[in-house]
Each structure stands twice: as C-alpha cells, then as structure tokens.
C-alpha cells in the first residue's frame, strides 16, 4: 500500500453542486473528520454552504458558473503546493477533475487512472445536466468545453480502467466501445480483478490515480449512499445501475494494484451520510441545542 508522505496534498472538496445534491457537502466534511491525520498539507476548496435556492441551469449544465469558480479555486490551491501526490475527500465525482488533470500534466503517459465506479461518468450535458456524470469523459478530452478546458493534457483512453461497472446506459456503452475503454465487472473484481491486472501489465503505466465513487458499493450493505436513501422507491433513480461490491472487495482491489504501481492520486466521492443528516436536522429542533 502506498503510504502517506509530506508531499501529498490532502484536498477537502465538499462540492455538492456537480450532483445537485446538498448532502454531499456534509458527506465530505465527515470524511475529513473520519480520515487519519495527514502527513502533508491540508487545504479546503471554498464551496458555498447549501441553501434552499435551486441551482440555475446554464447552457444545459446545472450550476455551471459556481462549478467553474470551484474548479479554478481547486487549481489555484494545487498550483500553490505543487504536490507530487493528491488525496481528495469529496464531494460529488467532479472533484477528481482538477486533481487528476494536474497529475496528468505532471506524469504524462506514465499516469494510469483506475476509476472504481458503477457508472463510467462519460456523459455530456446533452444526456444529463449534472456535471458529476461528465468527469471521466472530460479527463479523456471529451464533452463540455468548460470542463475539457480544465484538462491541459487529456488522459489517453488506454491508460484508463473502469472497475465495478455494470449495465451502462446506451450512450455510455457506445462511448466505452468507441474509445476502447477497458472495464472490469463486479464479479470479475470479486474473482481477483484479472482484467485490471492485465491492463497494468500491458501498459506503460508507472503511477496510478484512483477514483473511488462509493456508489460502487452495494446499498443494501453500505447505507451512506445515494441509492440507500431512506424510504426510496424502486424507480426513484431512473433505474440506473447500482453498486454490487462491498468494502472488502474494493480494499482487496486497491491493495492488489498498489503492489504493482505507486499511487499518486486518491479520491473518495459521493458519501451520502443519511443517518447523520437526519440526526443533524433533529438536533436543530431540540431544546437547548437547536436554534
């Protein structure tokens, strides 16, 4: 396992606007509280506290202007520290855009991206207005110009592996086929993730950036996920794929790849702590505690 070091920038990025889901804000804050102390610098990207005001749809993207402001703020922080490695505690999945772009500039074709996610995140505003579903496509150099402009050195498709994916939407499946993206199903992950290990051996990759969307986990077993929302209906999320892995599966996969390559990027995204959110709302209404 790649250890922490003093050159690792830990970036707290409580962005919620990319998924238009305010609970991601608290999810990021709780990750920062739960994580072990950092051996290197810690910075927080300024993100507006959620309010009841809906995000505006600007040019088919929800919250475009605020997202661009936060993208620039993240870039400024990273450039100030000039880190050799970055750990990101998000926030929605778009939080990986700037850190992984920075790592691509630093390491070039030596950088590989292991995208651990039930979804490939390669859509554009024409398919879906929420930018957290656009991030991997933008890192590859495809999609909305405001996002791709943040990626000075797009990551080659051959340097990307999506693990934990299943049942992609038609647009996503076509994008994966057209660009030759390699994938590893949940069952293959459980069986030892041989497609991932073959990808590492076949490539010129020397270092890895790992994006972990917690949605890759089974919502029946890990409850702090969008798909585990209390009282949800069966079709509330448009029947998109839901996670099938468990924490030991993900840890085993990451431990396997880190025996082969050094990890220089690590994102955890889409933490949705429903019980903490409901308790927070209850505390606000209690005598002597609430407002």
DSSP state at residue 163: E
Taking CA atoms, 262 is separated from 2, 105, 208, 228, 250, in Å, by 6, 17, 6, 33, 17
Q: What is the pLDDT of residues 104-156, one digit of tens each?
A: 999 999 999 999 999 999 999 999 999 999 999 999 999 999 999 999 999 99
Cα(277)–Cα(56) distance, rounded to whole angstroms?
24
Mean pLDDT of 148-173: 98
Among 123, 76, 114, 93, which Cα is nearest to 205's? 114
Specify the pLDDT at position 1.
59
Specify the pLDDT at position 2.
73
8 A C-beta contact, residue 65 and residue 244: no
Specify the pLDDT at position 268.
98
Taking CA atoms, 223 is separated from 36, 123, 227, 241, 272, in Å, by 22, 26, 8, 16, 8
* ∠ Cα 5 88 161 (to 5°): 100
Residues of the chain with pLDDT > 70, as a percent, come to 100
Mean pLDDT of 36-52: 96
Is residue 5 over pLDDT 90?
Answer: no
Pairing outcome for strands 42-44 and 8-13 = parallel
8 A C-beta contact, residue 242 and residue 215: yes
8 A C-beta contact, residue 91 and residue 16: yes
pTM, 2 dp: 0.97
Beta strands of the chain (E only): which ranges?
A: 8-13, 42-44, 57-58, 61-62, 85-90, 111-116, 160-163, 182-184, 207-213, 262-269
Q: What is the DSSP string of 63-107?
A: THHHHHHHHHHHHHHHHHH--SEEEEEESSGGGGHHHHHHHHHHH
Among 85, 69, 79, 90, which Cα is nearest to 2's? 85
Structural domain boundaries in the chain: 8-230+237-284
- Which 3 state secondary structure label does DSSP give 243? coil
Mean pLDDT of 65-76: 98
Joined together, the tokens standing for residue 261 give 């390559």
- pLDDT bin (cut points 50, 70, 90) of residue 81 is very high
Q: Which fold does the domain 8-230+237-284 belong to in CATH? A: 3.40.800
Specify the pLDDT at position 88.
98
Cα(163)–Cα(168) distance, rounded to whole angstroms?
12
Cα(34)–Cα(108) distance, rounded to whole angstroms?
32
Q: What is the pLDDT of residues 184-198, one digit of tens each?
A: 999 999 999 999 999
Cα(197)–Cα(257) distance, rounded to whole angstroms?
7
């Amino acid at each position: 396992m790649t250890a922490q070091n003093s050159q690792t920038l830990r970036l707290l990025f409580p962005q919620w606007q990319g998924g238009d889901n305010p609970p991601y804000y608290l999810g990021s804050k709780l990750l920062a509280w739960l994580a072990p102390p950092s051996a290197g610098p810690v910075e927080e990207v300024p993100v507006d506290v959620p309010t009841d005001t809906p995000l505006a749809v600007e040019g088919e993207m929800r919250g475009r202007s605020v997202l661009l402001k936060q993208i620039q703020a993240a870039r400024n922080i990273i450039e100030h520290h000039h880190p050799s490695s970055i750990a990101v505690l998000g926030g929605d999945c778009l939080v990986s855009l700037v850190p992984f772009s920075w790592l691509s500039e630093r390491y070039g074709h030596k950088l590989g991206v292991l995208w651990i996610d039930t979804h490939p995140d390669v859509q554009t505003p024409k398919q879906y207005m929420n930018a957290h579903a656009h991030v991997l496509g933008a890192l590859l150099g495809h999609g909305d110009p405001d996002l791709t402009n943040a990626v000075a050195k797009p990551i080659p498709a051959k340097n990307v592996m999506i693990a934990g994916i299943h049942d992609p939407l038609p647009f996503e499946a076509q994008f994966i086929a057209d660009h030759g993206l390699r994938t590893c199903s949940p069952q293959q992950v459980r069986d030892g993730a041989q497609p991932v290990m073959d990808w590492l051996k076949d490539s010129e990759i020397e270092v890895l950036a790992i994006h972990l969307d917690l949605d890759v986990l089974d919502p029946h077993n890990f409850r702090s996920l969008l798909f585990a929302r209390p009282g949800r209906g069966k079709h509330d999320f448009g029947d998109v794929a839901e996670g099938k892995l468990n924490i030991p599966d993900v840890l085993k996969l990451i431990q396997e790849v880190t025996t082969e390559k050094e990890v220089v990027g690590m994102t955890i995204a889409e933490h949705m702590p429903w019980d903490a959110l409901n308790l927070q709302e209850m505390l606000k209404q209690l005598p002597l505690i609430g407002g």
